[in-house]
Structure 1
Amino acid sequence: MFYGHDITLEEAVQFMFDNNITSGTDPKKGPTVENFAPNTNLSRAHISTFLKRFDEAVTSGNIKYIDFKGRYENIIPSNTNGKDPNIFTLVSKTEKTDDVVGNKIKTKFGERSYGVSTQAEYDQLMKIIERDYGNLDDFPRVNVSGSRVQYEQALEDYLFHGKTGITDKSNPNYRTGYNLALISVEKSFSSFKGKLKTMDEAIYLLDLREFLLFGSNVYEKENATYDVSHTAYNLVVEGNKGYKDGPYTMSAILDQLGIDSFVFDSMMDVQLAVKLYGDWYVFDNSGCTKLTPEVLNKEHSILYAPNGGLYSLPPFLQKKYKPVN
């Protein structure tokens, strides 16, 4: 671990060479893992020297930290246009798309207005979103409680060590916290098994799931009233709640963070779909579902296209496009 991130042996060794903490077993051989000889036993003198040099590097203010930029590129596809340093995966509005909003409102991300119908409301909404979520560095991390630590252990064991939960309710270990965490992990993350390579990625995905489920709640004021306006403005600016407010608000936040999404309606519920690893997923309290033709029904409709445009969707989702704003 390095400042909360999983790192590779190569990255750790490179960090030590970059900051003159080590010169290796032979300075002439250069900054390589082989020259560092990681399997060699260290003496007290070695450890003391490493710590002293690390302290000197920090004190000097010239320490070269490991660059984590792009660490999650294999989770979130890159599609930067190079115009806005805060936007990592989205394309700016350059021409009219198939979205109904058209040119009625000047929008920051494609033609997406998050249910808002006036320029004034849109501008107020985005001022708050930009204030709260400048870039991916502002992505909130969930506090590590006792239960969270147990959940992370279950996540690691399931994804990387092949463990699964006990489903036999008569088994005395069925109701243990760890086993219930394993069952929950399998339900929520089975779609990503084999795709995640490190715990760093897994923790990021876990944080993203929690954020998608609860992130919009911070804008709901005490004694909030139910409003029928169904816009992100209604929740973020007014503090009220409505049928579509949460998904619209999360979509606005994800746009600002550079994670592509779209809102769709199933008649019974409005949900947010997020693009990860090139596919579209929905996270809810019951777990995570990859969107496929089999899981959709005739009532499902996409309320507006993702920022990449309607034709960035697979054909089976394009057929569900029935915009309302």
Structure 2
Amino acid sequence: MDTLAFSIINGLLYGMLLFMLASGLTLIFSLMGVLNFAHGSFYMLGAYFAFQIGLHSSFWVALFVAPLLTAVLGGLVERYGLRVVHKHGHVAELLFTFGLAYLLEEIVRMVWGRQPVPYTIPAALDFPLFVIGNTAFSAYRGFMFMVAVVVFLALYYVLRRTRIGLLIQAALNQPDVLWALGHNVPRLFMFFFGGGVALAGLAGVVGGNYLVTEPGMAHQMVVILFVIVVVGGLGSMVGALLASLLIGVLQTLMVSFDFTLADVLLSSGIPAYDGPFHEIWTLSPARLAPVMPYLLMVVLMTIRPRGLLGKRSG
């Protein structure tokens, strides 16, 4: 029971980290209709910026400065990259962000090397927050969860209750009306693209030292991010939250179990199967955990193509 409880808590934490990443991707897609393949690269840059700033200052300075640096870089990418290729359609945008992801990864390798960097959690949060059974839950994990919750509440409030949120909805649905009212729509797009990648940078700051900060971290995250956006429903922030938590908890629970279907059959007195495809009976949930998000997406797309909370098209 203790293992189950700790696995669920870790799954919720991992899910909230995924949400911090997916929220920025969802925001960008909702406003601009761009599926940003380089979003994971901004997560990587946030972690590396935080590591570099921490060498000369502290984690707490990096917590605010690294996302700002990521936002500035994202704004420049939108202004001098995406805005230029936008007139050529969505395929050109996808190719541009796809190439940008590889370019940023190579730049990181040239600057910081190919090996993981020693980006560690701050000493002020390196203590047990509580203990379940014989396993301690660190204070830094609680801090990560708190940051993710604050991000969700802030986004929900801004999008639903503020003038900025109204501008986002207007820019999405009636950009010509915003032009007529005197608003600079391209500048709004640059601002919100920068804000979206800043959320990825923030996830890198708080998650890079919890996981591993290395050049391949972008590719590890970017694919599952698109799964989350699709499962939650394109453009739905709450849907992204639900999908992130669902995938985070399911993957963590599957990793914690090490039995196979053959073990279950043997414990019930049923002899082991030795015919065709007998390897399937020897697969454990831990080995299936990496493919679980994609299996979930395939099943959900069959049952509900628009995702958990996606709007019906047409």
TM value normalised by structure 1 = 0.25
- Please state which structure has a larger fraction of its residues in strand: 1
The structure showing larger relative contact order (alpha-carbon pairs under 8 Å, at least 6 residues apart) is 2
Which structure features the higher share of helix residues? 2
* Bigger Rg over Cα: 1
The normalised TM-score by structure 2 is 0.25
